[in-house]
Amino acid sequence: MDTDEFWRLIEQSGREASGQETRAAWLQDALEQRSAEDIIDFMSCLLSARRRVDTWLMWGAMRALFGFGSDDGFWYFHMWLVGLGREVFEQVARDPDTLADVPEVQRLVAMEHRGPSWTNDDWPQFEILDYVADKAWERVTTHGHESFYDRLRARGHELFAFPHPSDEDWELDDKEESARRLPRINRYMRELYGRA
């Protein structure tokens, strides 16, 4: 499985299923029809994508938009960004400030502003996507997840269980610094909702 096929599966899951659990189940089923090597390829692509958005700037963008972003929340926000599909993912990976232009982000910000009305599927986190390949691996190979992780390490992946940003660290709750680094998001929030 190459990168194009990875994104095709991610995007097809969004068309074939609604809701995160059914989407993850669809992906797991699709992976279980493939080889063990394809399952490793899928997870390798997912880990590579995650590394691209595991930045302090992206974390700051999440906090500026949604007003929260714990370690766990940001960790699963990575998966949510992948779930938005390749075009959106590539756009925001290049420039986290463009999250302000993403229709799904705008929808969630508007919902949040009107009051606590998010469902479980609305939250900008997709934790279950992180486990799809591991579960498919166990079903296809009958080996435990440690062999799955060993294969990923052999491909050069460092496996973390929490964010590990590699760009310049900054105080994410510093409003002035956030406005300087993420002008589009901060302008969007200020104009629409009177907050930066």
Give dist(CA 18, CA 24) in Å, integer.
Answer: 10
Shortest CA distance to 80 belongs to which of 125, 14, 26, 133?
125
pLDDT tens, position by position, 50-81 = 999 999 999 999 999 998 889 999 999 999 99
The predicted pLDDT at position 89 comes to 98
User: What pTM, to 2 d.p., does this model score?
Assistant: 0.93
- Cβ atoms of 161 and 130 within 8 Å: the answer is no
Domain boundaries, the chain: 3-162+170-193
Q: Which residue has the tokens 């009177």?
A: 194
pLDDT tens, position by position, 140-165 = 998 888 899 999 999 999 998 889 99
DSSP per-residue codes, 19-68: SHHHHHHHHHHHHHTS-HHHHHHHHHHHHHHHHHH-SHHHHHHHHHHHS-
